[in-house]
Structure 1
Amino acid sequence: MDLQRLVDTFNFLDSWEDRYRLLIDMGRDLPALPEEARIEANRVDGCTSNVWLETTVSDDTPPRMFFSADSDAFIVKGLVAILLKAYSGKTPQEILDTDIESLFDELGLSQQLTANRRDGFVAMVKQVRNRAQAVRADETEGAPG
């Protein structure tokens, strides 16, 4: 499901109970994160529940970043699924240009999630953006100039 379809689906659902159910289902559909990826270096600081985020970078020019992630909390896992839909497979610049806050608002999540879950989502976004900035910096340093 692409991002616009996700927004349309969320807007189509009448109740927050249905939206939460969709969020949980999206989390259940995430591929399992291998146990060896559940290491401290991949743990996202700032989340109340445990969240692990693994990054791989392609050899393409410009490189594309792919993310896999998992959480031990159902709703957070759904938020992880949204994050992966928004960012995985994009270039570092596309990641930095993505307005995830607007998407979060369009989905109505700003008003419905607890402060802890919102803060956790912001922490995940920050980590993705930091990794994108690092890849972009590496790419710039390696460029002939």
Structure 2
Amino acid sequence: MLKAYVSYLDVSHSAIVSKKNLSLCYHLTLIQTQVNFEYHIESKEAYTLINLSGILIAPNQSGELIEEFEETIAEGTLNVIVDLSGIETMNSTGLSVLISILTKARNAGGEAVLANLPEKVNELMVITKLYTVFTVAESIEAAEELLNKEETWL
């Protein structure tokens, strides 16, 4: 499990009213919270399976994942299925990780398929129009079928 800390500012305000004017005071509070993100990489016969779970929102969470994935490509496994069923929350950092995996797979002559997208991730893919870039499957089995079809086209 990778543990990262995310910092963000919480902004609140209060009003101070006097006879002559109204002043707004802004209060900035730096909040630091721990986010848990886990991944598991498993080599299959024809592809690499990457299982992601937890909260993927911090840039420092994905370095090891990308390095390990690059190693599987170097070993000759070019196709990948990314199982997102365990993802609770993802933001642009998470999308960047997925894009990086996709780019590395395609540059090596392989393909990346996303599987088991949770509703929140699905909404993010629709809003960002990344469905036009990624191959998406409802399950790992469906993703395997898509990869098998892809191989017969080559």
Q: TM-score range by the shorter chain?
A: 0.3 to 0.5
Of structures 1 and 2, the larger Rg is shown by 2
- The structure with more helix, counted as a fraction of residues: 1
Query: Which of 1 and 2 has higher RCO (CA within 8 Å, sep 6+)?
Result: 1
Structure number with the higher strand fraction is 2
TM-score, structure 2 normalization: 0.31
